[in-house]
């Protein structure tokens, strides 16, 4: 993503803000109508919200993918705060979550996240977007290739395309199946948030696929399962300690 050309110019900030609102309206319509909603005292007693908050807490405390990403964000100067950077909300359609670049906040769709495993995948996926937002100047709303690159990385590194998940979807047995899954999931994610044709989304993914698929930061490898993620987290911690002692 950092290698993608910078297409900012006069008036681009205003145009990007308008497109941010357009995308937010597509995925989180209540966010555009109400601004940036804060969870009030009474809302915590609603079943979906309470369940979402509890699952989120467990994910942040125990999931090795998420623990590595949180350490990497902190190391990059973008420490994550549970109360500030996560929001459990109701969402339209089948959307599970999203990264709101205008507020640097991860939205978790409490009405669509049904279990702990699903929460783990959504938080990991969105934290990869947050990590990309932290480390690079990403034009989320004006350059579809930037979005495509982050979606490729999120599908590749979050476990979205793990063997277990693909078997559950009845997708398996193809040559280079992981790459095919990553490509397909990235295209679907783009189409969920951008009002563009499938052909345009496919073209964007194809243009960035090789470089972004091979960008494994901060994991250093493709973490195919939790064991791989634990090893990657250990290596990241050791690397961090090594550089701090130089």
Q: Which residues are catalytic?
A: 126
153: number of Cβ within 10 Å:
26
For 145-211, give the DSSP string: HHHHHHHHHHHHHSSTT-HHHHHHTT----TTHHHHHHHHHHHHHHHHHS---HHHHHHHHHHHHHH
How buried is residue 64: exposed, middle or buried, by Cβ count under 10 Å (0-12/13-18/19+)?
buried
Could you give the strand order of the β-sheet that contains 105-109, starting from the edge strand earlier in sequence? 86-89, 105-109, 97-100
């Amino acid at each position: 993503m950092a290698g993608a050309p910078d297409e900012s110019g006069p008036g681009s900030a205003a145009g990007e803000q308008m497109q941010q609102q357009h995308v937010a309206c597509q995925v989180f319509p209540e966010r555009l109508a109400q601004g940036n909603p804060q969870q009030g005292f009474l809302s915590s007693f609603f079943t979906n919200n309470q369940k979402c908050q509890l699952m989120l807490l467990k994910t942040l405390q125990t999931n090795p993918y998420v623990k590595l990403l949180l350490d990497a964000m902190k190391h990059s100067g973008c420490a994550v705060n549970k109360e500030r950077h996560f929001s459990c909300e109701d969402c339209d359609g089948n959307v599970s979550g999203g990264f709101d670049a205008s507020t640097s906040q991860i939205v978790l769709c409490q009405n669509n996240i049904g279990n702990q495993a699903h929460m783990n995948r959504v938080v990991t996926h969105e934290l990869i977007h947050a990590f990309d937002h932290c480390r690079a100047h990403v034009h989320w709303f004006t350059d579809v290739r930037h979005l495509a690159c982050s979606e490729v990385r999120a599908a590749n590194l979050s476990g979205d395309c793990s063997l277990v998940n693909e078997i559950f979807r009845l997708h398996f047995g193809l040559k280079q199946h992981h790459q095919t899954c990553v490509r397909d999931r990235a295209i679907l994610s783009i189409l969920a948030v951008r009002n563009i044709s499938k052909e345009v989304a496919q073209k964007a993914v194809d243009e960035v696929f090789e470089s972004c698929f091979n960008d494994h930061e901060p994991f250093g490898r493709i973490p195919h399962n939790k064991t791989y993620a634990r090893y990657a987290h250990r290596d990241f911690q050791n690397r961090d300690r090594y550089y701090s002692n130089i």
